[in-house]
Amino acid sequence: MLEIKNLHVEVEGEGTEILKGVNLTINKGEIHAIMGPNGSGKSTLAKIVAGHPEYEVTKGDIIYNGESILELDPDERSHAGLFLAFQYPVEVPGVTNNTLLRESYNTIAASRGREELDPLEFDDYIREKLELVDMKADFLERSVNTGFSGGEKKRNEIFQMAVLEPALALLDETDSGLDIDALRIVADGINKLHHEENSVVLITHYQRLLNYIIPDHVHVMIGGKVVKSGGKELALELEEKGYDWLESLATVNGEAK
């Protein structure tokens, strides 16, 4: 479904390389977890997959459903079924959640050949989704993320995911900032949304999340590369040992390998 090949990424116009040859393959139906120390490039990887214009691919490719998506705009990627839950969800004052989601749902529906919903149908549809993440209906009429607490913003991202039903969801630290109950609710929601036709990538610092959502694969990113991959037990090992023992895999003689 998604194949990232030797991906090198720089900040547009600055020349600092952030991703230094990432390789990653995600198949349909799988759940992957990406862990790694702060600043290792996890968010950059997620954002470049979503098409963030701030970054530039200098080498390598991102293949989605058999085709390179490097030339696609972020909206086209979203139409193709990609979804990014932001580590720092953006506040958009003046645009209500409801407006955003109806607009999004219908454009995505149109481009994927699904039927568009009129406001009434959409209302029913969206209420069902609210329940999934246990969100109050008031949030629909509030401006997107504006004045939301940290946890509410994260929950709102998963709510959007629930509404848009992506084929591949990249969830960037969705668990950070959630209280214990919220974490369980959100994790349950993600589990309910996941089935054999879609895939989920969880970027996280905490093994705790992975008790709720069991990953098929766990990857460790250090210094702009995936330095180790394994099964769910890798997360436990990291919890215990930290990242030090893996640092040597990222560099050889002080140079990026």
**Residues near other proteins (CB under 8 A):** 50-54, 73-75, 77-79, 83-84, 86, 89-90, 92-95, 99-101, 103-105, 107-108, 111, 143, 160, 164
Task: Check binding of 43 to ligand ATP (CB under 6 A).
Answer: yes
Q: For residues 101 and 200, which CB has a smaller minimum distance to ligand ATP in the complex? A: 200
Residue 140: CB minimum distance to other proteins, A: 15
Q: Are 78 and 165 in contact (CB under 8 A)?
A: no
Report the residue number, 43 or 160, with the smaller CB distance to Mg ion: 43
CB of 195 to ligand ATP, least distance (A): 28
**End-to-end CA, the chain:** 27
* Of 37-45, 60-68, 88-96, 108-116: span binding ligand ATP (CB under 6 A): 37-45
Given the complex with ligand ATP, which of 11 and 214 has the nearer CB atom? Answer: 11
Task: Give the range of 36-44, 130-138, 145-153, 187-195 binding Mg ion by CB under 5 A.
Answer: 36-44
Give the closest residue to 238 by CA, choosing from 38, 35, 42: 35
204 binds ligand ATP (CB under 6 A): no
Residue among 40, 174, 199, 204 that touches ligand ATP (CB under 6 A)? 40
Rounded to whole angstroms, the Cα distance separating 196 from 68 reads 23
Separation CA 34–CA 214 (nearest Å): 13
Geometric angle at alpha carbon 101, from 98 and 104, rounded to 5°: 150
For residue 229, the partner it binds in ligand ATP, Mg ion, other proteins, none, with Cβ less than 5 to 8 A by kind, is none
Instruction: Enumerate binding residues for Mg ion (CB under 5 A).
Output: 42-43, 87
